[in-house]
Amino acid sequence: MGKNEFLTPKAIANRIKAKGLQKLRWYCQMCQKQCRDENGFKCHCMSESHQRQMQIFGQNPTRIVHGYSEEFETTFLEHMKRSHRFSRIAATVVYNEYISDRHHVHMNSTRWATLTEFVKHLGREGKCKVEDTPKGWFITYIDRDSETLFKERMKNKRLKADLVDEEKQERAIQKQIEKAEQMVVEGSEKTGVEEESKPKVLDRTNAEAEKIKLNLLQAKKKAETDALKLVFGEGNDGNKSGKRKHDGGEETSTRNASVLDELIMEEEKVKERSNRKDYWLFEGIVVKVMSKALEDKGYYKQKGVVRKVMDKYVGEIEMLSNNHVLRVDQEELETVIPQMGGIVKIVNGAYRGERAKLLSIDASKFCAKVQIEKGLYEGRVLKAVEYEDICKLMQ
């Protein structure tokens, strides 16, 4: 049996020595070979294979160093994202975890001489949040994944919608309070008038001192003038009583109308809350592409038709100019308002999904007046619908 064959003490000792990490200064990145001591590294440097690799390196050293630097940075950030995505941690801890893999890209083959320089580079590039403390450098991974950014954007949108709902509720409560106060004031005024109009008991405590006087001449003159008025058609008492009755009828009718309006308003609010969504894309509507990333390709501010809606928020848009099909998020799209009399789709709000006709536009308030054409609410006129809640329908 030879001295370096399988399972000999020498072979086992060599494997144990080669198993763990060795000194960095005796590692050759070009050949990806780890030497155990200075003598082994010197022999490796004199070998023919190493000389060939050094000739390749000499042809374009900047490109090779740049390539190793990019690979080191990518794998380091990948390890950060996988192991410490949401935590603040010491840079030395992350580096020790990273180099535990024997086949990692070593730092002596990159453009950074020390870990401090590499950490500062990550901070400058905005890939990590870097902090210099008395205990050393601490880093926090900045997640720029598209899915994470989308979730963050949707979360912020939901928070804004919740704030808007809270403000609406506060306004509604304030209106109810003001209305209740007004009703209390009106009730107190009515009770005061009723008390004045009530018949009072005749108090005759000083009956002996007071005497009742009757002026028959004035009563006679008044009777004559009343008779003359009746002759010439100037009787106003009947008209006054008729007006009072008519006014009383009008008051009751207006009260009934106001109660009905309140019920309708409550129903509208319930429908608004249930049908108001954070997504608004529908198949068949005409939209405008507002993505500046597509400006170079000539799609910026160009119109297209939504042919398919994917995951509620993304639409496949067929451009009207060249029939190209793009996949665009609704955040980078805008609704289109047609000409007067055009057909629109109500894409959000209480009447979401209904087909309507554009009657007029109020440019100062950024809203439009539409009339629903089909369905359960056919013929209903909506006086103030925001531009964002309606969109031109392709016919």
Report pLDDT for 226: 55
Report pLDDT for 96: 87
Taking each helix axis as running N to C, give the angle between helix 61-83 and helix 115-125, from 0 to 180 degrees, rounded to the nearest 10: 80
> Cα separation of 306 and 347, whole Å?
13
Cα atoms in the 13 Å half-sphere on the side-chain side of 274: 8
Report pLDDT for 231: 40
Q: What is the pTM of this model?
A: 0.37
DSSP state of 393: B
Burial of 228 (0-12, 13-18, 19+ CB in 10 A): exposed
Q: Quick check: 99 and 24 in contact, CB under 8 A?
A: no
Length of the chain, in residues: 395
Q: Quick check: 282 and 345 in contact, CB under 8 A?
A: yes
Report pLDDT for 212: 56
Report pLDDT for 234: 46
Both tokens assigned to 342: 């055009």
Report pLDDT for 345: 93
Q: Quick check: 284 and 308 in contact, CB under 8 A?
A: no
Q: Which residues of 270-285 are buried (b: 16+ CB within 10 A; e: fewer)?
A: eeeeeebeeebbbeeb
> Cα separation of 133 and 115, whole Å?
15
Query: Consecutive sets of 10 residues in the chain, 395 residues long: mean pLDDT of each?
Result: 65 66 71 79 85 82 86 89 86 87 78 89 88 90 72 77 81 86 78 61 54 55 50 46 49 59 77 85 92 85 91 89 88 91 91 91 90 86 90 89
Q: Which helix (H) or strand (E) holds 286?
A: strand 286-289
Both tokens assigned to 221: 């003159």
Backbone angles phi, psi at 34, to 5 degrees: -100, 125
Q: Quick check: 324 and 318 in contact, CB under 8 A?
A: yes
> Cα separation of 83 and 85, whole Å?
6
